[in-house]
Amino acid sequence: MTVKTRKKLIEVALPLEAINAASAREKSIRHGHPSTLHLWWARRPLAAARAVIFAQMVDDPSSVPELFPTEAEQERERQRLFRLIEQLVQWENTTNEDVLQRARDEIWASWRRACADNAGHPRAAELFDPDRLPAFHDPFCGGGTLPLEAQRLGLEAHGSDLNPVAVLITKAMIEIPPRFAGQPPVNPKRDLHRHWKGAQGLAEDVRHYGQWMRDEAEKRIGHLYPKVEITPAMVAERPDLKPYLGRRLTVIAWLWARTVRSPNPAFAEVEVPLASSFLLSSKAGKEAWVEPVIEAAPVQDLGMGGGDLVGLAERAARAKGYRFVVRVGKPPPEAKAGTKLARGANFRCVMSGTPIAGDHIKAEGQAGRMGARLMAIVAEGERGRVYLSPTPEHEAAARQARPAWKPETSLPDDPRAIWCVAYGLTTFGDLFTDRQLVALTTFSDLVGEAMARIRADALAAGLPDDPTPLRDGGTGATAYAEAVGVYLGLSVSRQANRLSTLTFWDAGGQNVQQVFARQALPMVWDFVEANPLSGSSGSFDGQVGYLTNAAATLPAQGTGSSARQADARAIISNGLCIISTDPPYFDNIGYADLSDFFYVWVRRSLRGVFPELLGTMAVPKAEELVASPYRHGGKKEAETLFLAGMSRAMQRSAAQSHPAFPVSIYYAFKQAETGAVEGTASTGWETFLDAVIRAGFGISGTWPVRTELVGNLKKTVAALASSIVLVCRPRPADAPSATRREFLSQLKAELPTALRHLQHGNIAPVDLAQAAIGPGMAVFTRYARVLDAEGKPLSVREALALINATLDEVLAEQEGDVDADSRWALAWFDQYGFADGEFGVAETLSKAKNTSVAGLAEAGILDSRRGKVRLKPPAELPPEWDPATDPRLTAWESVHHLIRALETGGEAAAAALVAKLGAKAEVARDLAYRLYVIAERKKRAADALSYNALVQSWPEIARLARESGPAARDLFEAAGG
């Protein structure tokens, strides 16, 4: 007997703009956000996860005709649900029990309808218990966001992952807090009169015992982290230090430059610095930089006359070498580049100016001759950072550290993401200085000592003397001590991310930046060594603070929730579940390789708590569903492994999913492969979709959700900003077949409407191609198979190529909405970009587009002189332009003036133009999509970035334009903005 299902909200409509706005905003929230519990790559925003799971479980009003019989009533009810989602996704409502309970009530109402619908089903007692919601399961739980939000919505949540670091993080998110919900802290300094809600008591103990660890570490290793005394000699050289004369300042960080022997034979014994920058602070009015000063010995010491001055200077420099001096004030232009000559490992010798090639640096590193030299000391002053020249005492303090242990796990030789192996850093232990190793091992050892203290304090506070450990479900003093120990161990792991030779100094923010600013282990030439005892953001206090703030906000409900290590291809016996998951994106991120950086430390700290989970020497890799060519013998072999493994994982998800609910799957992979015959079709998308289809899924809905943070390191690339949420249901057994022509006809009928919806939802141009895959594949998976002219089934790659070709046609057809001058400019831009072209060619094209070169020049679109024609780039457009007085206003002009305004004056300046453009602003925005596609296809990266940035900034531009006054608001609203 078939289960009766109702269409869910996610299969019909979503308030996408509100979800995306909340998701984008959330990326800037740090205080208390669960992501600050511990780093994990490519986390989904809470807002997106919460909205998707809610909409996945709640009936769309159109499927409840008994309550909402007319379309008008259905739309009113849908809008009511939208308003609830708009509240639900706000960060401020993450712990708002009133809003959350209203969402839970909606879920329960839909569930009870499903139970009533299927009361006569043979398995009703098993599948449709009206008093118990189905459990939730994410088979690729990663950082735990999806199970956490399912738990927040009242579900029993389960997460599984092959990666033990992911499992440990998810345990800390969903499994441990409910176990000790509402329990007061046990530390002797606890507030006996406070009411402790949720995980607040647990978080308070993490804070208290983390402080104990920090203080105990200072007793043991504080001599390695001395304060710096401001001496009269320092003040004589730097009068700005006078207020600190005689004081001992706490050091926040030490800045080092890696060194190699100079390739110049005259200076072969000098270890010269590899510094990518000498800037310490670029903040206006507080600039500071490092100057390398060549030290020359006195002439008489060399026993030479003064004849050959050039030779004397060179020999003197060779005798004494160089030193680093910190200067304050406006730095010279060359300070920004340090000793770097070009991108990559290309430097110059500070002594002679001789270029230092990458091969020389690699040879030095592999021979064990790469060293480090202290460049500067950063101390804490009364009104900010104090930058000081290095001292022999501080360099000596670092050199005296003698670590008793270091992680010997080998770094993978993966040139895609692990870039330091070629320079002689071959183990994870090589990524830390000796002083950093001493600090991290000291903190690791203190986790065990802290757990012993916590257990004793827990017994004194009245917890049962139950020896059952945390891993076996214990709730007594032993289990509680281990629970607090898990968070302390994660704090040590967090500290490693700020205490490595792969961290770097941010001269703008004046702080220590983490190792994983990218999803990679890069090579950092001038690294920063944070002081873990300083109390700054890079210190152990800082790590514990981030973690406890996050732990205190965890929902701490749903005692049946769990996280465990499991292969997504294996059978998971949690019964039939609601499934939402975020699987690996083909080869985008090597989770196992990168997470070994953390694993070596959590294993040292917490192996006694989870001996099975942390039993292996490194994170399992062979079974990981990531298409890593270096590991699997080549690109083709890696694709084959990914397809087979993901197909099996999707089959397990299909078999495990509860029939009343669709499955939601997040996926993001940029389309980048174009063939002359096959068209554009990404291997990552092809392989993943092939796996979904092989699992028997059809696609019943797709949504582009803003999930990716485009941070400072991605501003110069067209990085994806969205994931596509695929909504899947098992494909009906009686699904029909279709011919290629029928599929293409249906695609052309449905894609234009879907594309318009995407553009109105402000999907970024860089995401448009992958977003269009959704509605296209929804058509493709509607059929059991699509047959070509020879009767052969159409492959996923061929379907993707047709979808992309249709997308290109639809975008080209949108050109009909713009004026003739702009259509000419589009055609010219496609061929020439902003470069010169022949006047004759331009004139011929103008006749075809019903315009003229003279008219185009009059419109301000182009320059025409000496037989050449050239489109004006945004930077050359007049800043005083006013569309209200332009006698020949064009969409082309409008979009490029908006780009000029955005790039020179920011969103406010662009908004001022939008307010003047009124309804024409939307036409300009739509034109940016077409221009992005052309620029990307033609490999014009800078132009593509400009068009993408305009659309991505549009929500804020529109908001500012609406707020600029009633007239502007009326104009903008008339345009549908």
Return the higher-pLDDT residue of 699 and 374: 374
Residue 313 pLDDT level (bands cut at 50, 70, 90): very low
Cβ–Cβ < 8 Å for 751, 772:
yes
Q: Is the pLDDT of residue 299 over 60?
A: no
Model pLDDT for residues 627-685, shown as the tens digit of each residue: 888 888 888 888 888 888 888 999 999 999 999 999 999 987 554 443 433 444 456 67
Specify the 3-state DSSP secondary structure of 257.
Answer: strand
Q: Is the pLDDT of residue 430 over 90?
A: yes
How many other C-beta atoms are found inside a 10 Å radius of the C-beta of residue 313? Answer: 12
For residue 61, the 8-state DSSP code is G
Residue with tokens 């441990």: 176
Q: Is the pLDDT of residue 135 over 90?
A: yes
| Chain center to CA of 321 | 43
pTM of the shown model: 0.85
Of 175, 200, 229, the residue at which a domain comes to its end is 175
Q: Is the pLDDT of residue 875 over 80?
A: yes
Alpha-carbon span 353 to 611, nearest angstrom: 55
Model pLDDT for residues 92-126, shown as the tens digit of each residue: 999 999 999 999 999 999 999 999 999 999 999 99
Count the domains in the chain. Answer: 2
Would you state the pLDDT for residue 417? 86
Domain residues for the domain of 144 are 1-175
- 958 part of a folded domain: yes
Would you state the pLDDT for residue 556? 82
Average pLDDT over residues 302-310: 38
Model pLDDT for residues 687-738, shown as the tens digit of each residue: 788 888 888 898 888 888 876 544 433 444 444 456 788 999 998 888 899 9
Average pLDDT over residues 298-325: 52
For residue 331, the 8-state DSSP code is P
Return the higher-pLDDT residue of 28 and 237: 237
Model pLDDT for residues 80-89, shown as the tens digit of each residue: 999 999 999 9
Cβ neighbours for 757, distance < 8 A, ≥ 6 positions apart: none
Cβ neighbours for 358, distance < 8 A, ≥ 6 positions apart: 344, 345, 346
Alpha-carbon span 793 to 785, nearest angstrom: 6
Name the strand (E) or helix (H) holding 363. Answer: helix 358-366
Name the strand (E) or helix (H) holding 667. Answer: strand 663-667
Model pLDDT for residues 178-202, shown as the tens digit of each residue: 999 999 999 999 998 899 999 999 9
Average pLDDT over residues 49-54: 97
Helix 954-962 to helix 891-917 angle, to the nearest 10 degrees? 40
Return the higher-pLDDT residue of 812 and 384: 384
- 823 part of a folded domain: yes
Which of 32-41, 138-147, 289-298, 588-597 bottoms out in mean pLDDT, i.e. has the lowest?
289-298
Would you state the pLDDT for residue 761? 66
Alpha-carbon span 286 to 384, nearest angstrom: 9
Supply the mean pLDDT for the chain. Answer: 89
Residue 280 structure tokens: 């310490």
Would you state the pLDDT for residue 155? 96
Work out whether strand 157-161 and strand 562-565 pair parallel, antiparallel, or are unpaired: parallel
Of 175, 194, 227, the residue at which a domain comes to its end is 175
Would you state the pLDDT for residue 51? 97
- 638 part of a folded domain: no
Select from 247, 245, 246, 275 the least CA-distant residue to 259: 275
- 4 part of a folded domain: yes
Q: Is the pLDDT of residue 31 over 80?
A: yes
Cβ–Cβ < 8 Å for 273, 257:
yes
Model pLDDT for residues 434-483, shown as the tens digit of each residue: 999 999 999 999 999 999 999 999 999 999 999 999 999 999 999 999 99
- 964 part of a folded domain: yes
Share of the chain above pLDDT 70, in %: 92
- 700 part of a folded domain: no
- 25 part of a folded domain: yes
Cβ–Cβ < 8 Å for 50, 89:
yes
Q: For residue 239, give the amino acid letter.
A: P
Residue 688 structure tokens: 């993943």
Cβ–Cβ < 8 Å for 761, 704:
yes
Select from 200, 251, 210, 244 the least CA-distant residue to 227: 251
Average pLDDT over residues 404-422: 91
Would you state the pLDDT for residue 320? 67
Residue 316 pLDDT level (bands cut at 50, 70, 90): very low
- 729 part of a folded domain: no
Return the higher-pLDDT residue of 318 and 580: 580
Alpha-carbon span 912 to 889, nearest angstrom: 17
CA-based diameter of the chain, in Å? Answer: 109
Alpha-carbon span 534 to 252, nearest angstrom: 6
Of 160, 175, 190, the residue at which a domain comes to its end is 175
Q: Is the pLDDT of residue 902 over 70?
A: yes
